[in-house]
Amino acid sequence: MNKPLADRVKSIKQSDIRRFSAICAAMGGVNLSQGVCDQPAPQAVKRAAQQAIDEDRASYTNLRGVIELRTAIAKKMRAFNGIECDPEKEIVVTVGSAGAFACIALATLNPGDECIVFSPFYSYHVNMLRLFGVGIRFVDLQPPDWSFDLAEVEAAFTPKTKMILLCTPANPSGKVFSEEELRAIAAAAKRHNVWIATDEIYEYITYGKTHVSIGALPDAKERTLTMSGGSKTYAITGWRIGYAAGPADLIDRMIRLQGHETSGPPGICQKAALAALTGPMEPVLAMREAFDRRRRVMVDALREIPGIDCPTPDGAFYALPGVASFFGRRCNGKALTDAPALAEALLEREKVAVIPGDAFGAPYAIRLSYACSEDDVRRGVERLARFFGSLS
């Protein structure tokens, strides 16, 4: 008997990130594919989670999130992001920043509406929009500095456009949008009266660039939903604590959605996130310094490989080197016709997992993460050099 399936899931596939990571783990390889920090969560954060367990904080919490955490988020938003928000009405704690984006998209976009997305893009954002039946208008970011043409942004707007989506610092490119760029985007959003959604989960991970939140700009505040969370900053990716800040009426709609979708994030993890936000910044700064060292190791090594073009990431913990010069070469008798074929061959021959750039709208590239240990970064790039050298 053929049982019916919803059209929206008939073509859905497992994320390349999860697939390559699983294969790599099974073969004991070097995983440069997944953005999961190898460093431990701060001790104060772990102790807070343990205390919450001991106190039996196992019940549902307020759908907005516990008020102490929302108050801490509001204080952080004011001090770091330059955004004033009321913890009672303009903040919701979510199941990761991914949960925040799902609520934002469902609360603002109908099937057939359109969203402007900068490419290369974070694959979750685009896949979720497609799952919800939203049309996507891409604006290309041009390497090596990942700049964009404002005329292309303006041309992307149509009568169906309801939102423009940002990710800064960006996954997968490491682009950090400048204040000048954000002002231009905010002005365009105001002219066309559309929402701005901005994923700033990597906001503390920048290298020589200042993170600017578009929601702090006068033209943008009333129409901007700012997403972030503790996953990357405090190495608690799997604890699933994110949040969104924005206009009270839309936050209220998101809270109602979250009530039906997930019933809210775990109270234990919220208590841990509170300890993270109110604790010392030294662990965060040390983590950023470690990422910077790994970034330089990876980028310097990639630039030594003939045929690879690797822009310098200014934020997050990914590199997106161009590898199109190797398309058409052969490995183990197989033609490397594109980035997926190249990534498969690299995993098979050298036991190194990377993600084909096709998953991010960059079919000429592969994405590498340097969130793993420095030893793994060094071992990984050595194997990359050997692999690409064999194709020359």
pLDDT of 343-373, one tens digit each? Answer: 999 999 999 999 999 999 999 999 999 999 9
Given this model, what pLDDT does residue 35 score?
A: 67
Q: Give the mean model confidence (pLDDT) for residues 259-276.
A: 88
Residue 328: inside a domain? yes
Residues 384 and 318 in one domain: yes
Given this model, what pLDDT does residue 283 score?
A: 87
- pLDDT at 1 exceeding the cut of 60: no
Beta-carbon neighbour count of residue 151 at 10 Å?
8
165: nearest Cα among 104, 216, 218, 86: 104
Tell which of 209, 244, 278 closes a domain. 278
From the number of C-beta atoms within 10 Å of its C-beta (0-12, 13-18, 19+), residue 279 rates as middle
Given this model, what pLDDT does residue 140 score?
A: 98
What percentage of residues in the chain have a pLDDT greater than 90?
A: 74
Residues 307 and 223 in one domain: no
**Cα separation of 233 and 217, whole Å?**
24
Residues 228 and 361 in one domain: no
Sheet with 161-167: strands ordered across: 91-95, 241-245, 224-229, 195-199, 161-167, 114-119, 135-140
Contacts of 289 (CB under 8 A, 6+ apart): none
Residues 114 and 218 in one domain: yes
Number of domains in the chain: 2
pLDDT in tens, 21-48: 777 778 788 999 876 677 778 888 889 8
Residues 241 and 378 in one domain: no
Helix 248-261 vs helix 96-108: angle between axes, to the nearest 10 degrees?
110
Which structural domain, as residue segments, surrounds residue 140? 43-278
- The answer to whether 120 and 260 are in contact (CB under 8 A) is no
Residues 111 and 185 in one domain: yes
Of 283 and 38, which is predicted with more confidence? Answer: 283
Rounded to 5°, angle at Cα 81 from 189 and 213: 25
Residue 162: inside a domain? yes
- CATH assignment at residue 304: 3.90.1150.10
Helix 43-54 vs helix 267-278: angle between axes, to the nearest 10 degrees?
150
Residues 263 and 185 in one domain: yes
Given this model, what pLDDT does residue 344 score?
A: 92
List the end-to-end C-alpha distance of the chain, in Å, as a whole number. Answer: 52
Stated as kind and residue range, the H or E segment containing 96 is helix 96-108
Residues 151 and 226 in one domain: yes
pLDDT in tens, 98-144: 999 999 999 999 999 999 999 999 999 999 999 999 999 999 999 99
**Cα separation of 198 and 215, whole Å?**
8
Residue 5: inside a domain? no
Tell which of 250, 278, 306 closes a domain. 278
Given this model, what pLDDT does residue 61 score?
A: 83
Given this model, what pLDDT does residue 52 score?
A: 87
Contacts of 208 (CB under 8 A, 6+ apart): 314
* pTM of this structure: 0.94
Residues 301 and 366 in one domain: yes
- pLDDT at 261 exceeding the cut of 90: no
- The answer to whether 356 and 338 are in contact (CB under 8 A) is yes
Given this model, what pLDDT does residue 313 score?
A: 98
Q: Amino acid letter at 389?
A: G
pLDDT in tens, 149-194: 999 999 999 999 999 999 999 999 999 999 999 999 999 999 999 9
- CATH assignment at residue 75: 3.40.640.10
Residue 259: inside a domain? yes
Tell which of 243, 278, 313 closes a domain. 278
Residue 8: inside a domain? no
Average pLDDT over the chain, rounded to an integer: 92
Residues 257 and 387 in one domain: no
Per the document, the length of the chain is 392
Of 266 and 181, which is predicted with more confidence? Answer: 181
Residues 306 and 263 in one domain: no
Residues 127 and 33 in one domain: no
pLDDT in tens, 192-246: 999 999 999 999 999 999 999 999 999 899 999 999 998 888 777 878 889 999 9
Given this model, what pLDDT does residue 3 score?
A: 79
Residue 1: inside a domain? no
pLDDT in tens, 67-87: 999 999 999 999 999 999 999
Residue 362: inside a domain? yes
Q: Give the mean model confidence (pLDDT) for residues 299-308.
A: 96
Residue 134: inside a domain? yes
